[in-house]
Amino acid sequence: MADNASACPACGKAAGQSAGGGAAAAPAQSGGGLPDNVTALLCYSPVALLGWILVLAVEPYKNNKFLRFHCFQSIFLCIGLTAVFIALSIFGGILGHIIGPLALIIVPIDMLLWLGSVVLFIFMMIKAYGMQKTKLPFIGDFAEKTAG
């Protein structure tokens, strides 16, 4: 093919396109729209609600077990972390009423838990983007059963 050619003389494809359409290098899709790895990543992202809605309600995604697993694992992780943060706040309030300054112990624990949560969600986004099914302790098996 000549350097300045706009199409391949053998197959007629425009320059810059592969003959196979590039499907071998691209991640699988659920029949249109976003690739599966991007949709799974959305389930763990700051806009996770969008990913959850896509996976649970939109037709090409809701039948994909890989996406449903990551969706449910993300939902259960958020519920679990919310429960832990609420319990920690209640414990800090009780501790503050009993011995006031002792409640300040909760602040660094809360900050470490928050930082650990951010690192965990980034790790899960990387794994989901790489099309890996990483099961978290306690909730991974439950998410797998729920996903079907």
**Tens-place pLDDT, residues 53-85:** 888 888 878 888 989 999 999 999 999 999 999
Would the CA dihedral through 32, 33, 38, 43 be positive or negative? negative
Prediction pTM value = 0.72
- % of the chain surpassing 70 pLDDT: 78
Residue 73 belongs to domain spanning:
36-147
Cβ-contact 133, 69 below 8 angstroms: yes
Is 106 part of any domain?
A: yes
Those residues whose C-beta lies under 8 Å from the C-beta of residue 45, and which sit 6 or more positions away, are 51, 121, 125
- % of the chain surpassing 90 pLDDT: 36
Is 11 part of any domain?
A: no
Is 26 part of any domain?
A: no
Q: Which of the four pLDDT bands, split at 50, 70 and 90, describes residue 21?
A: very low
- pLDDT of 15 reads 60
Q: How many domains does the chain have?
A: 1
